[in-house]
Homo-oligomer: A and B are copies of this chain.
């Protein structure tokens, strides 16, 4: 869901920013093609209005490359393969490169054999989950993308973070906008807490719990506790306890770890980022040729009609519009492309300048 920007945000031109990102990744040792792909995926988050996964992450990627957690020269390896499946070892390559590669493989398999189901170990943060699900939708397939991540979700009745935000993304072709669902298994993703911390705002009630298991509004304290493994974390979707279904969000997070962490032979969230220089994030991708189930244009049309019925249904008092998933991101993207700009948090601008200086690049030229 696109985040709300405040008035002190800087408006930056897209074209020089793309160039800067490309040069930045080349400065780390990635090839021109690789740098372009990473930049595209990172910037896509900002274009969708998902600030938490956009260029505000570059400082963390920068640190991960220098810590050795991200291996600039690693190549993905297919460990095991059938006509409809594969296990990939990312060998600590950049998460975006491994994920896009894995989904391309899933797409190829789906196009030949109906389904491609790929599980990935030893990867890194891959950005927005929806990017890869939409990769499949662009190839006229249904796409699924999941990733585990460093533990920050506290299981129902627990007080230690044991599961990642573990997002699940599903995309399907539809008109006029593809269906594109992308949701953390927690009430909110970690990136949202980072944005609240950056903006110095208190967290809404029910999002996070402190090291003693009590509700807290202090984004900074929660993030510090997560980083230092002190306890507490973010509540699963449905909140704490079982009354409003917190055990369901906990279950969705667990399913992501089953598909990504367990099936890949990699790590589950509770073991991620515990060793210096090795994060160990795992992903899961599926592409489905929905033509197995009927005429594709007919199915696409039926989905488009259904989405329109949802949008056209009566609005709650005070609500102007019912969205279907992916619409907000699509509109944010269109607006950015029309203006040729994106809004950037001033703190992110400072971080980018710092990174640029370290890499001998000129960010002001961006």
Q: Which residues of A approach B to under 8 Å, CB–CB?
A: 1, 80, 82-85, 87, 113-115, 117, 119, 142, 154-160, 162-163, 170, 172, 179, 181, 183, 187-188, 204, 206-207, 212-213, 231, 237-240, 242-245, 247-249, 251-252, 254-255, 257-258, 261-265, 268, 270, 288, 290, 292-294, 298-299, 302-303, 306, 309-310, 313-317, 319, 321-325
In the assembly, what is the distance between CA of A163 and CA of B313, in Å? 11
Find chain B residues with CB under 8 A from A248 CB.
183, 237
A114 close to B299 (CB less than 8 A): no
Beyond A142-B258, A155-B322, A262-B306, list 6 extra A-B contacts (CB 8 Å). A157-B315, A158-B316, A181-B255, A213-B316, A262-B302, A263-B290
Q: How far is the CB of A123 from chain B (nearest CB, A)?
A: 15
B325 close to A247 (CB less than 8 A): yes
In the assembly, what is the distance between CA of A354 and CA of B5, in Å? 62
A157 close to B317 (CB less than 8 A): no
Across the interface, A313 reaches (CB within 8 A) one of B113, B158, B261, B322, namely: B158
Q: How far is the CB of A282 from chain B (nearest CB, A)?
A: 12
A254 close to B115 (CB less than 8 A): no
B265 close to A293 (CB less than 8 A): yes
In the assembly, what is the distance between CA of A197 and CA of B65, in Å? 58
Minimal Cβ-Cβ distance residue in B for A186? B245
B244 close to A84 (CB less than 8 A): no
A306 close to B183 (CB less than 8 A): no
Find chain B residues with CB under 8 A from A290 CB.
263
B114 close to A262 (CB less than 8 A): no
Chain A to chain B: the 10 pairs with minimum beta-carbon distance, closest first: A157-B319, A183-B248, A181-B251, A85-B292, A263-B293, A213-B316, A159-B316, A160-B314, A157-B322, A268-B306
Find chain B residues with CB under 8 A from A303 CB.
258, 262
Q: How far is the CB of A261 from chain B (nearest CB, A)?
A: 7
A251 close to B183 (CB less than 8 A): yes
Find chain B residues with CB under 8 A from A247 CB.
1, 183, 323, 325
In the assembly, what is the distance between CA of A299 and CA of B259, in Å? 11
Q: How far is the CB of A320 from chain B (nearest CB, A)?
A: 8
In the assembly, what is the distance between CA of A265 and CA of B290, in Å? 12
10 A-B interface contacts by CB (under 8 A): A84-B84, A84-B113, A154-B316, A162-B313, A170-B258, A237-B237, A254-B310, A254-B325, A262-B299, A263-B294
In the assembly, what is the distance between CA of A249 and CA of B184, in Å? 11
B261 close to A316 (CB less than 8 A): no
Across the interface, A316 reaches (CB within 8 A) one of B157, B262, B321, B322, namely: B157
